[in-house]
């Protein structure tokens, strides 16, 4: 399973990405690093299960490229409320 996490280098991503990778999922992080940091991804940087792409979620070309082959999508720099996020997360992880 391959998933795309936008804003994955931020605070929530720093918890979500290791969780997903720990489940054996291949994770692609799309982040413009405007506030996120590579160190938030910790020991996963450089590992086979993680691909980090620097780019803007508003860039259609980049999004199309990173979405290809992905089965799931988590969007963080957005306006979703936490309850909606967790509902989505839980249903995807079951
Ligand atoms: N942290 C919380 O407790 C909390 C609670 C409720 C809601 N939220 C919401 O969840 C979202 C993420 O929260 P967070 O704490 O992880 O924030 P954060 O600022 O730590 O992470 C956001 C990430 O998105 C990246 N980013 C911003 N604009 C981007 C763009 N145009 N393209 C690509 N990447 C971009 C940033 O570089 C950063 O890594 C926010 O929308 C926040 O309002 C957070």
The residues that bridge with 73 in the sheet, in sequence order, are 4
Atom 26 of ligand 1 has which residue's CA nearest to it?
Answer: 7
* Predicted local confidence at residue 76, as pLDDT: 63
φ, ψ for residue 68, nearest 5 deg: -60, 125
* Predicted local confidence at residue 40, as pLDDT: 93
Taking the centre of ligand 1 as the mean of its atom positions, its distance from the CA of residue 47, in whole angstroms, is: 23
* Predicted local confidence at residue 77, as pLDDT: 60
Taking the centre of ligand 1 as the mean of its atom positions, its distance from the CA of residue 11, in whole angstroms, is: 7
Distance CA(27)–CA(54), nearest Å, equals 14
* Predicted local confidence at residue 62, as pLDDT: 93
């Amino acid at each position: 399973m391959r998933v795309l996490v936008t804003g994955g280098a931020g605070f929530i991503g720093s918890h979500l990405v290791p969780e997903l990778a720990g489940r054996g999922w291949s994770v692609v992080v799309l982040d413009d690093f405007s506030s996120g940091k590579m160190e938030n991804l910790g020991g996963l940087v450089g590992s086979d299960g993680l691909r980090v792409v620097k780019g803007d979620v508003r860039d259609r070309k980049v999004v199309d490229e990173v979405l290809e082959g992905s089965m799931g999508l988590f969007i963080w720099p957005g306006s979703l409320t936490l309850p909606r996020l967790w509902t989505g997360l839980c249903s995807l992880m079951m």
